[in-house]
Structure 1
């Protein structure tokens, strides 16, 4: 016999009696939770989402006995209603458990207000139909529409559950290239909490009562009026790099939301270069590297991707302008 209680917080409690003596934990839960597959239940157990008699158990083979209290909190499985759409996706890495996508500029990641098609999610559903059963079609994190580069997408619920936990525990290394305004003199760390902007709900801002956000940066190349940075995220808040760099007065070139200050004294730069730099209409931000332990095989995965053509052309223009002004490259 089993007693079940579901609280308002979606915490489910089972008290197993008589028929559950000396039974595997995953099998016991499966018999009373038919909406989840056994592999999904095993993933939740390994992720630390299940406790027996108020002790977290991470082994699916754990034996439960009569009168054991089993508690777990599983995410509700929502049927995906978005439609698959054919679109060529560049895949930087792929195996049976996950795929790493090299996202181009201009591609929205997820349908939302004003756009219910033409997104990365729609393309994923075309290439991986089974991902319709996964949260966010398997996406573990996001990139802004006009940010390019690497994104992890799980292909199974077990991989998604484990990768999500790894992201939350900061076990996935994410590195970016960012071209910012001004000359950054030394590497540093920005540890400033972020919250939604008080006047513009589509923006974020540094706020003392916001969520913790930590960004590390080093100097890749320094120019007369700009700096190319290597940026590493310790946390992953919405618009984090863009807001943090704007906060320290080194906003990302081309950022239309957190507009960089492009003020040049007359004659300091050529009119041709000024036109190029002002016409770059997206943030010059590229997710260039992902490094993590594979959630299933435990192998080390280190994926890199080249700088996109538009950003390479912009950097070439910056270097050319520096050479024209001083006859040499500035390091």
Structure 2
């Protein structure tokens, strides 16, 4: 494992932690006696002196797992008050973050691959990068198994991301040179990303949403529209592809199939911009889009991806068909296919 790797969340190159610990070797054991200065101190706080390379949160977790003993007895309370002369022993275990950077074989739908990069069609439900609650089974784990040299690359070569429940195309670098070049293209807005979506409401004319965005100050899991001086610029072009109707509680409600073109790559950009325009995505419950047409996740798919090959200079333009759930809902709306 590369000790410089940080296992925290991936930052978008435009928008733009973990700890390193031993990997598969036998757990290290440490012990010490509580001196007079440690008398009356909390167990978890005292352990930060015995194992300073670990966070207090991680040490609390080890206490609760039974990895810490006081005079030979396992205690499950981090707040336990110590007495001078007690013998403390701890079995040090890697953090969840450090365990995340491991190869896990998985089927990858590879649309394009050479020695420099690969483009995959990410399925619904696949988390791109390890984070709290998803320290394994991520795309990064799959990339490490498919391409072992990814272990030497920042984020295993991942240069941009899709939400867990958004399907579609992603490009991944396989060499440091490709990762660097692709990241620069994204930052310069030279990687073109186009999406297909189903949204509530009637969209019959093209429109542009150009609203700055930032993290929602109330809910940290959401993004929000922000004043230009407080957020980062974001622009989405929206084109209509068809309008259908859905029965909801006995009433007909319009649903529109739309083609979205990103000019920036902010987190949740399409979801936030369409909601702001009065057209939340079907089943995007985080932003107020109720489920319909069998959709149980936000109706969003990264259908097109185009960029310049970082080694050959060739213009690459790739497409991914709608996944089964979105294709079935799309057919019910009766929308046109994306031309070209």
2:311 to 286, 292, 296: 296
- The answer for the alignment partner of 1:134 in structure 2 is 153
1:282 to 283, 297, 310: 297
- The answer for the alignment partner of 1:211 in structure 2 is 232
Alpha-carbon separation, structure 2, partners of 1:142 and 1:261: 24
The structure with higher relative contact order (CA 8 Å, sep 6+) is 2
Alpha-carbon deviation of 1:261?
Answer: 5.7
- The answer for the alignment partner of 1:308 in structure 2 is 323
How do 1:86-97 and structure 2 match up within 5 A?
A: 86-97=105-116
2:261 to 216, 232, 240: 232
2:140 to 117, 121, 125: 121
- Asked whether the 8 Å contact 2:204–2:242 carries over to 1, the reply is no
- Asked whether the 8 Å contact 2:243–2:333 carries over to 1, the reply is no
Alpha-carbon separation, structure 1, partners of 2:200 and 2:193: 22
- Asked whether the 8 Å contact 1:124–1:137 carries over to 2, the reply is yes
1:260 and 2:281 equivalent? no
Question: What TM-score does the superposition give when structure 1 sets the normalisation length?
Answer: 0.67
- Asked whether the 8 Å contact 1:176–1:230 carries over to 2, the reply is yes
- The answer for the alignment partner of 2:193 in structure 1 is 174
1:193 and 2:212 equivalent? yes
- Asked whether the 8 Å contact 2:189–2:263 carries over to 1, the reply is yes
- Residues 309 and 184 from structure 1, CA distance in 2 versus in 1: closer, same or farther, beyond 3 angstroms? same
Which digits, 9 at most, give the CA deviation of each residue in 1:39-84, with x for residues without a partner?
xxxxxxxxxxxxxxxxxxxxxxxxxxxxxxxxxxxxxxxx996111
SS in 1 for 2:264: coil
SS in 2 for 1:257: helix
1:242 and 2:271 equivalent? yes
221-230 vs 296-305, which deviates more? 221-230
- Asked whether the 8 Å contact 2:239–2:259 carries over to 1, the reply is yes
Runs of 5+ unmatched residues, structure 1: 1-78, 263-275, 323-331
Work out the number of aligned pairs and report it: 230
Alpha-carbon separation, structure 1, partners of 2:290 and 2:127: 26
SS in 2 for 1:185: coil
Alpha-carbon deviation of 1:243?
Answer: 0.5
- The answer for the alignment partner of 2:67 in structure 1 is none
- The answer for the alignment partner of 2:202 in structure 1 is 183
- Asked whether the 8 Å contact 2:284–2:290 carries over to 1, the reply is no
- Asked whether the 8 Å contact 1:80–1:132 carries over to 2, the reply is no
1:318 and 2:337 equivalent? no
SS in 2 for 1:221: strand
Alpha-carbon deviation of 1:313?
Answer: 0.9
- The answer for the alignment partner of 2:47 in structure 1 is none
- The answer for the alignment partner of 2:251 in structure 1 is none
- Asked whether the 8 Å contact 1:189–1:215 carries over to 2, the reply is yes
How do 1:21-170 and structure 2 match up within 5 A?
A: 82-170=101-189
Alpha-carbon separation, structure 2, partners of 1:190 and 1:261: 22
Alpha-carbon deviation of 1:156?
Answer: 0.2
Alpha-carbon deviation of 1:309?
Answer: 0.8
Alpha-carbon deviation of 1:144?
Answer: 0.1
SS in 2 for 1:296: coil
Alpha-carbon separation, structure 1, partners of 2:172 and 2:146: 12
